[in-house]
Chain A
Amino acid sequence: MAMRMDTAKLEQRYLLDMLDVQDNRILEIGCGEGRMTRLYAEDARHVVGIDVVLDELKQALETRPQHLTNTVDFMTGSAIVMPFASASFDHVVFAWSL
């Protein structure tokens, strides 16, 4: 199937314009298979992606680049109750998930 999504990369451009990624801690809620997570993982200090869909989380883990193993964590969960300390993230991203 020949399908090209967002070839102008507007989604990526707007997201990265709004996020001060550099050396920050980011929580992504509804990370899915990690498509968005990978956009800011390279420059962030730490990224945590959470999702309730186990199959997608599994894919996110399988496709996580080796060099990001210590920077990017994926875990099951939703925004209702999160197992994180108060004041632990610089940014929270709802990407296609609210």
Chain B
Amino acid sequence: MHAGMVHALREIHRVLKPNGTLIDLRPNEGNRPIEVLLSYATLRAGEIESSTDATDKRAANHAMQQAVTDGLFKLEYDETFDYIADLDTVEDLRNYGKSLKQNILSEATVAQVEALTSDETDDFSIRIRRSMMIARYRKSPL
């Protein structure tokens, strides 16, 4: 995996014009917290388990570091931010869980959200936070 990414970064270096840039936008490693937003409080209600793709994310980080070490690119700027999904119902959360390819939303977490919202009428929402990174690299001459 790592070797393939390093090779891909060399290929990207080739197709970029002199002084061109590479933008890398992707999720960070780590679970996604789930919050229940009530009119009077925001309550933490578990997490989406994301350890299954942690190896891929670490490999991507290593590949980028390798490309910088090898003198292909220079890091100009990086930033993190939260990519937020807002859901209206527990059923929406279940459907969100079914749509996940590698990550896991446990039934226990859904039950926790259900318990926190069972006494509410329609004045709540469910928020899932996903930590993202974005970085800009400048092509270096070899």
**Chain A residues proximal to chain B, CB less than 8 Å:** 1-8, 10-11, 14-15, 18-19, 27, 29, 78-82, 84-98
Chain A residue contacts of B71, Cβ below 8 A: none
| B25 engages A94 (CB within 8 Å) | yes
| B83 engages A18 (CB within 8 Å) | no
B105 to chain A, nearest CB (A): 14
CB nearest to B21 among chain A residues:
A91
| B82 engages A96 (CB within 8 Å) | no
A94 to chain B, nearest CB (A): 5
A92 to chain B, nearest CB (A): 5
Partner of B15, one of A15, A80, A88, A97: A88
The B interface, classified by DSSP as helix, strand, loop or mixed, is: strand
- Per the bound structure, the CA–CA distance linking A5 and B12 in Å amounts to 30
Query: Interface size on B (CB < 8 Å)?
Result: 41
Partner of B23, one of A15, A81, A88: A15
Known contacts being A18-B77, A82-B15, is A98 close to B26, with CB within 8 Å?
yes
Chain A residue contacts of B22, Cβ below 8 A: 91-94
Can you list, as one digit per residue, whether each of B6-32 has a CB less than 8 Å from chain A (1) or not (0)?
Answer: 011101101111101111111100000
Partner of A6, one of B64, B83, B87: B83
| B86 engages A3 (CB within 8 Å) | yes
| A97 engages B87 (CB within 8 Å) | no
A27 to chain B, nearest CB (A): 7
Chain A residue contacts of B79, Cβ below 8 A: 14
| A11 engages B25 (CB within 8 Å) | yes
B38-83 residues at the A interface, CB under 8 angstroms = 60, 63-64, 77, 79, 81-83
B92 to chain A, nearest CB (A): 5
Known contacts being A7-B86, A79-B12, A89-B15, is A1 close to B95, with CB within 8 Å?
yes
| A92 engages B16 (CB within 8 Å) | yes
Partner of B132, one of A7, A11, A78: A11
| B20 engages A91 (CB within 8 Å) | yes
Known contacts being A80-B8, A88-B15, A89-B17, is A10 close to B81, with CB within 8 Å?
yes
| B92 engages A92 (CB within 8 Å) | no
Chain A residue contacts of B89, Cβ below 8 A: 2
